[in-house]
Structure formats: structure tokens, C-alpha cells
Amino acid sequence: MINNLGKYLINFLVIVFIQVLILNNLNLGGYINPWLYLLFILILPVEIPDWMLLLIGFLTGLLMDMFLNTIGMHASATVFLAFIRPFLLRFFAPRDGYEPGSLPIPSHFGVGWFLKYVSLTVVAHHIFLFYVEVFNFDTPLLTLWKAIVSSVFTIAFIMVAQMFGAMKSSRS
């Protein structure tokens, strides 16, 4: 991880740049909020220490909260995402386990594996985020609908971003 710190920093800056300048300004019916910034946490190396993953999740969410003026909503949701990520990676682990240096990306484990992994993590994050946002259970189905619709768009954006990332890395 330390050897690739520059690459991760550039990836982080590009993803945050796209999220803040483009995706946060999309108005898609009030129900659809694509959160591409989750991609940064999802594609960190498999063997990253849990404490570091939680810290990165917190700092990433805090940065989004500063740009969105949401007072801890994204920080709490990304810490939750960072907390469940190791459990989901163990659940989806290959029979022989992960090789050292493995990244949870389509080129390492396949598009089907990546889609299942991203779908579960994104849906869990969005349900947590949107219930923290409304902070009540008066309209649980509306909140769940908003979380699911936003999840679908977030997953689509993440898959497209990975497709472009794979095309970029195959040219190098």
C-alpha cells in the first residue's frame, strides 16, 4: 500500500473532484444521488488493516460532509461501509483465499464477483446513509426506495468508472 501511495492519492483526488464538481450538482428527480466517492474505499487493497480502513472511511466521509454541509452523515455512513467491507470480502473470498497484493477490482476477480461485492456494499451504505438523513421511521418505504434507486445509479457509475479505469490501465 505504501509503495502505491501516490497512485491512491491521485485516484482519491480524481474521484473526489468528479463527485464534488459534477455528481453533487446533478438533480435527478430528488431521489437519485450517485455517490461515486465510495469507489475509493471499495477498491483499496484486500489486506489493508481494519483500523486504517476505518480511518480512511472516516476522513473520506468527513471530506464529503464538508463539501455537502451534511454534518457527519457521510462520515458515519462511510465508517459503516469500512466496517462491513472486511466481512463481505471474507464472504466473497475465493476458496484458496486472497493472494497478497490483491485488489477487489474486476480485473482481479471478474465482473460478476465485483458486481456482487459492490452491490451489497453500496446498498448497505445507502440504506444506512438515507436512514441517518431522515432520522426517523415515519416513511420507511420512501426512504428505502430512495436508497435502492440511488444504489442502482451509484453501482452503474462505479461499473462505468471501473470500465474506463480498466481501459486506461490496459493501454499503459
Residue 50 belongs to what H/E stretch? helix 50-68
Segment 146-154 shows an average pLDDT of: 94
Q: Which residue shows C-alpha cell 468528479?
A: 18
Q: What is the pLDDT of residues 9-26, one digit of tens each?
A: 898 999 999 999 998 887
Q: Which domain holds residue 27?
A: 2-171
Dihedrals φ, ψ of 9, to 5°?
-65, -45
User: What's the number of domains the chain is made of?
Assistant: 1
d(C-alpha 100, C-alpha 54), whole Å: 20
Dihedrals φ, ψ of 154, to 5°?
-65, -45
Count of CB atoms situated within 10 Å of the CB of 155: 19
On whether the pTM is more than 0.85, the answer is yes
d(C-alpha 166, C-alpha 163), whole Å: 5
Residue 89 belongs to what H/E stretch? helix 73-91
Three-state DSSP class for residue 129:
helix
Q: What is the pLDDT of residues 22-79, one digit of tens each?
A: 988 877 777 788 999 999 999 999 999 999 999 999 999 999 999 999 989 999 999 9
Q: What is the CATH number of the domain that holds 103?
A: 1.10.1760
